Amino acid sequence: MSTTSALRLAFPFLHPEVSVDHLVIGAGAVGLAVGRELTLKFKEKSTYLLESRHHRPGQETSSRNSEVIHAGIYYTQDSLKTALCIRGRILMYDFCQKNSVPYQKTGKLIISKSNEESNYIERLYQKCQSINHDIKFWRSHGLKEPDTEPGDLIPLKVLKASEAIEMEPDLSKDLGSCLYSPETGILDSHSFMEALESSINESENGEIVYGARVVRIDRASKNLGWVVQTATKNQSDEEELSSVMAKCVVNCAGLNAHNIYNHVLNSKGLQLQINFCKGNYFSYSSKKGVENVKRLIYPTPVSSSRQKSFSGLGTHLTLDLNRKVKFGPDVEWLPLPVGTKSNIISNLSSEEEVQDFWQYYLKPSDSRQMKTYESVRAYLPGVELENFVPDYCGIRPKLKGLDEGQNQKSHRILSNAPEHLNNDKCAELDDFFIRQTEHGFINLFGIESPGLTSSLAIGEYVEKLVREKFWIQDDRKRSGSSNKSRFCEIGELDSWV
């Protein structure tokens, strides 16, 4: 039996007490950006965010990453990752400037160490040039065109090894061609999320509810929406159950997003499973070997023979806003929570604990220190092992993992594909998945890097999806509520909150 099925048995159906127009599940950077955009664009409709596990925003993937504003270099030209990263980067710098969110446009070097890597650098540059001159790029993704001159979407410069070493003297002298990205930067992700949170809380039609754990989701009668049941602990640490009828649900639950959707899939006898990829970060406690570093430094990402894409961008050097150096993330795949013999899994006592098993891995793996050092020393030969200090780690939610059988199953569930599926058809699992899979239920899966950079653009994308794929179709089915009834609903929601 799946953990979702067991959870549903523990919580019988509860009739909803109140209704809301938009219910966003998850208050990470993406959930907050989506919630903000919905409150701004649908001022006559109510938008509420639920954060299940925490009492503050962005406590999972959103706050356990490199805090880099990416330029949009790496991903395939026709992917959502590329389009939303480029658009998101433009929006992010503007948002940070207008909302006093600390950031720095540091620039980034992507280096190569072999002929194969130099060839990759050349292909990467040519792909970005193709995007720069693609006049249909924005239209093909249904995105608003930015006020950017043609050729400036992804500014890049190819450098000789000598030019790269002149910019960053601590680099190895054994380099091939390199790329310089002047638009890459860093930001304070916590300040960014606090600004998004304030925008929602200060609106008249938005609210964030923390510590409300989703335990059951059912389709409402007459297909009028979705009944979302939550459990919230009171001051006596006892769980209180409540239920809300949401006309449109947006699932931005990140590492828990598949479990949220499995409540919907349960009636079809299906269950989706995502993959969890841990990334360890090491701070560097000395200036030895990095005295002159002024920019972010990334090695060339190398894909494995089994995958056309790469799991990460290599163990790179990043800076924080205080110019402190850190290295990471690496790639450490976690065992799946169902059907494993992990000691951690076998000791978990409840369905909720099994679903949140990854929390037990939120400690840097000391065993990865030597491998991280060796990876970094290949391009920064002056660094010393004793200065690598385990700092923190993050978990990336990935639709595509190492198990091709599971990849095919995930693809079939998300696309209603036939049973026998060619492996190449799973390629889209590498991309962001943002789709209305059922009427009024929008899922966001695999929102890993460049999710933080893309968050504001994802907010725009989801708002357009809600407007065009939900409300326009919904209005054809039934007439909208009057303003009087709308404010009654908001009043009831205040009591629910």
pTM of the entire structure? 0.90
- The DSSP secondary structure of 439-492, one letter per residue, reads TTEEEEE---TTHHHHHHHHHHHHHHHIIIIIIHHHHHHSPPPPHHHHHHHHHH
Contact between 361 and 393 (Cβ < 8 Å): yes
The pLDDT assigned to 176 comes to: 95
The pLDDT assigned to 147 comes to: 64
Contact between 15 and 220 (Cβ < 8 Å): no
The pLDDT assigned to 343 comes to: 47
Among residues 283, 87, 98, which one has the least CA distance to residue 191? 98
Give the pLDDT band (50/70/90) at residue 142. low
Give the pLDDT band (50/70/90) at residue 55. confident
User: Helices 451-465 and 80-98: crossing angle, nearest 10°?
Assistant: 100
Q: What superfamily in CATH does domain 1-67+188-274+399-497 come from? A: FAD/NAD(P)-binding domain (3.50.50.60)
Q: Report the pLDDT averaged over residues 56-65.
A: 86
pLDDT tens per residue, range 146-189: 665 555 789 999 999 999 999 999 999 999 999 999 999 999 99
Domain boundaries, the chain: 1-67+188-274+399-497
H-helix or E-strand spanning residue 244: strand 239-251
24 phi, psi to nearest 5 deg = -100, 125
Give the pLDDT band (50/70/90) at residue 283. very high
Residues of the chain above pLDDT 70, percent: 83
Q: Report the pLDDT averaged over residues 473-489.
A: 48
The pLDDT assigned to 314 comes to: 76
Cα dist from 214 to 53, 139, 250, 413, 418, whole Å: 9, 37, 13, 22, 31
pLDDT tens per residue, range 335-363: 886 544 444 444 444 566 567 788 888 88
